[in-house]
Amino acid sequence: MPPGLKDVAKRAGVSIKTVSNVVNGYAHVAADTRARVQGAIAELGYRPNVAARQLRGGRSGVIALALPDLRSAYFAELASMIVQAAEKRHWTVLIDQTGGRADRERDLAGRLRRHLIDGLIFSPLAMAAGEIAVDVPDTPMVLLGERVWHGPADHVAVDNTAAAADATRHLCELGRRRIAAIGAQDGPVAVSAQQRLAGYRAALEQHGRTVDPALIAPAAEFHRADGAAAMGRLLDSGEPPDAVFCFNDLLALGAIRTLLDRGYAVPGDVAVVGFDDIEEGRFSTPTLTTVSPDTAGIARLAVELLAERLDQPLTGDGAAAEPSFREIRVEHRVVPRESTLGRLAARRR
């Protein structure tokens, strides 16, 4: 028979309640007592019955994660990090893909009521704050991305405008004069693209550069093929750029492919910057200069904020108290690599 709480308590010389407090992560346990209990757990090989504990607490131990596009390396990496953070709390994560479509996002919100989940981490592109509040009225939730700010839930995001300005500023400081942008989009679901375009414009103006509309290339989606096609249009325009800021790394990798196919050197002829710092960019040829958001921090904070909402005390009528919604912006940095510095300079950094 596997060891139980009683066995651990006996080995550590404490009460069963103290062992339970340690297993459940309660803070008010003396450090030496906690160490003794943890030592006994390790010696005996005790494993908590997570399922039973969750059922006693009225929890399923399952949360949902809804992201726009799992073909995107950024969202795939973010999902992996959220799963890892959730595993530390013995949570299972159900992952769904919305495609950034309003009907899919609403359908997801409706289906939540019919599934036994404890909470939701949601990156909406189409639904507005009011719709989300109506469709997911009683489900603890954390929002990601740029579509919804100031409620109806805690929100974690990167400052897209500042990050894009930093990326463009890096190209300006390298002496590049004709700096293009790939990834412009219109419409209510294109908030990230619009914020990154605003940062690009602001940095150019700060450095006394004229914003040339001919150097702003739209992209229907943020995939490699879109970046390759947009770069082709820029090269065919008659006066090609000497640098390009792409609104994500996949666009940048597609742009580099077109540049190399057309006989342009990167970064000798055209320097390229991406956004997201996906793993592929660290191994591409050339390696990709990029904006690196704190993706691990986004994942960790999303899970922590959701856990705090789930542990929120109830009011006298049994409803959860209504705290203020938290807006958290994670840090970012520009990571210079070969696509702007060249191989030798990048190696010296």
| Tens-place pLDDT, residues 100-140 | 888 888 887 666 655 678 888 999 887 766 666 655 556 78
**In 3D, which of 55, 58, 62, 53 has the Cα closest to residue 26?**
53
Q: How many residues does the chain have?
A: 349
Q: What is the pLDDT of residue 100?
A: 82
Where residue 335 falls among pLDDT bands split at 50, 70, 90? very high
84 close to 299: Cβ distance less than 8 angstroms: yes
Q: Where are the beta strands (DSSP E) in the chain?
A: 62-67, 92-97, 119-122, 141-144, 154-158, 179-184, 216-218, 243-246, 271-275, 289-293, 327-330, 332-335
Does 197 have pLDDT greater than 80?
yes
Where residue 315 falls among pLDDT bands split at 50, 70, 90? very low
CA dist., res. 340 & res. 223, Å (int): 21
Write the single-letter amino acid at 320.
A
Token readout for 43 is 């010696």
Distance of CA 152 to the CA centre of its chain: 19
Domain assignments of the chain as residue spans, ordered by start: 5-48, 60-157+294-330, 160-292+334-348
CATH architecture designation of domain 5-48? Orthogonal Bundle (1.10)
CA dist., res. 299 & res. 67, Å (int): 13
**In 3D, which of 240, 279, 229 has the Cα closest to residue 80?**
279
Does 314 have pLDDT greater than 60?
no
Q: What is the pLDDT of residue 15?
A: 86
At the top level of CATH, the class of 60-157+294-330 is alpha beta
Residue carrying structure tokens 């939701």: 120
Does 51 have pLDDT greater than 90?
no
- Using left for φ > 0, alpha for ψ between -120 and 50, and beta otherwise, residue 238 falls in left
Helix (H, G, I), strand (E, B) or coil at 6: helix
CA dist., res. 255 & res. 148, Å (int): 30
Provide the mean pLDDT of the chain. 86
What value does the mean pLDDT take over residues 173-193?
A: 92
104 close to 66: Cβ distance less than 8 angstroms: no
Q: Which fold has domain 160-292+334-348?
A: Rossmann fold (3.40.50)
What value does the mean pLDDT take over residues 42-58?
A: 62
Give yes or no on whether 60-157+294-330 and 160-292+334-348 have one common fold: yes
The reported pTM is 0.79
Q: What is the pLDDT of residue 325?
A: 82
Where residue 47 falls among pLDDT bands split at 50, 70, 90? confident
